[in-house]
Amino acid sequence: MATQKDIRKKIGGVKSTQQITRAMKMMSTAKLRRAMDRLNGMRFYLVKLEQMVCTLCSAIEKPELHPVFQPHKNRRNCGIILITGDRGLCGSFNHDLIKQTQALIRERKDMNCRLFLVGRKGYEFFKRRPSDNISMDYFPELLSHPESDAIRLAAKNFLSFYNNNAIDELLLVYTGSVSALERRIEVKKMLPFEFRLNQSKNEHHSRATIDFEFDPSPDVILNSLIPRYIEGMFLRGILESSAAEQGARMVAMGAATDRAEEMISDMTLLYNRIRQAAITKELSEVIGGVDALAD
């Protein structure tokens, strides 16, 4: 049975851990607020950019002939952009992303998969599990410092890989941030561009601007906007994943803090019971000794 000293040590250890988890929750809350502000500022730009791309597609006679709209005939190589976190202590955040990526790889078991990994947790996982049909590219600083030049260069390389048949499709896997406490796994096809789906979503925008005259031609404008659109999708995935990670860590650290409070309460109750039992035993011994002397 644990002694009073042992229980006091355990209570002190749990209190120290609780202070750490409470501090991490506060830090995650502050980081989440900054990440959500940056994400909300970016969403308006991305929505307008998507509307512009769809409007230009409607202004072109045969947009499906553009290389980014045409699926490759022989689908042999698949590119998957996986955005995980750099750190743990965020619940099942990284595990769910890796599990989803593994499912995508199994669905494409006859294809060569090329992973573009953003975030240290995803890189460490697949580095320990090498495979013949899986190659990896790692972007170590892109998650913590999503600079515009680095994002633009990565988007340019993705487009170049697709145009040169190095990859036949490009998927983006990340955790979407619905709200501060809600998130979901997103799998989006970046290339080839799904024109019909976007056209149906933005049909009213297309009809409203179809009679405009373009200078230079819509084809030239579209060629300049498509890399920016891919860049925007990539940046949005990074920003949403960053916000979702901080939200997941805030929830996990909040749950850990609450659980530590429950453990402290339970151990304090146990400590008081043992202490009371010890006091009762000592009193019984004193009373027994007094009675023995009286006899």
Question: Which amino acid is it at 60?
Answer: I
Q: Look up the CATH number of the domain holding residue 185.
A: 3.40.1380.10
CA distances from 29 to 89, 97, 177, 252 (A): 14, 22, 14, 12
Cis peptide before 216 (omega within 30 of 0): yes
68, 137, 255 from 249: Cα distances, Å: 37, 26, 10
pLDDT of residue 295: 66
Q: What is the pLDDT along the chain (295 residues), one digit of tens a residue?
A: 678 899 999 999 999 999 999 999 999 999 999 988 888 888 888 888 888 888 787 777 777 777 788 888 888 999 999 999 999 999 999 999 999 999 999 999 889 999 999 999 999 999 999 888 899 999 988 888 888 888 889 989 999 999 898 999 999 999 998 877 788 999 999 998 875 544 444 454 444 445 667 778 878 888 888 888 899 899 999 999 999 999 999 999 999 999 999 999 999 999 999 999 889 988 888 888 887 887 6
Reported in sequence order, the residue ranges of 28-92 that DSSP labels E, i.e. its strands, are 77-83
For residues 56-65, one letter each, b for 16 or more C-beta atoms within 10 angstroms of the residue's C-beta and e for the rest, the string is: bbbbbeebee
| Per-residue pLDDT reduced to its tens digit, 243-261 | 999 999 999 999 999 999 9
293 within a domain of the structure (yes/no): no
3-state SS assignment for residue 34: helix
Assigned domain for 247 exists:
yes
DSSP designation for 118: E
Copy the structure tokens of residue 24. Answer: 């991490």
Q: Tell whether 28 is covered by a domain.
A: no
The answer as to whether 61 is a domain residue is yes
Beta carbons of 155 and 227 less than 8 angstroms apart: yes
Classify residue 1: in a domain, yes or no.
no
Residue 31 counted as domain residue: no
Let me know if residue 27 belongs to a domain. no
Structure tokens at 89: 């202590």
Total-model pTM: 0.84
Helix (H) or strand (E) holding 55: helix 4-59
Q: Other CB atoms closer than 10 Å to residue 204's CB: what's the count?
A: 7
Find out whether 136 and 158 touch, Cβ atoms under 8 Å. Answer: no
Is there a domain that residue 6 lies in?
no
Range of the domain at 247: 47-251
Residues 196 and 212: their CA atoms lie apart, in Å, by 21
Q: Count the domains in the chain.
A: 1
Query: Any idea what DSSP says for residue 62?
Result: -
Q: How far apart are CA 103 and CA 105, in angstroms?
A: 5
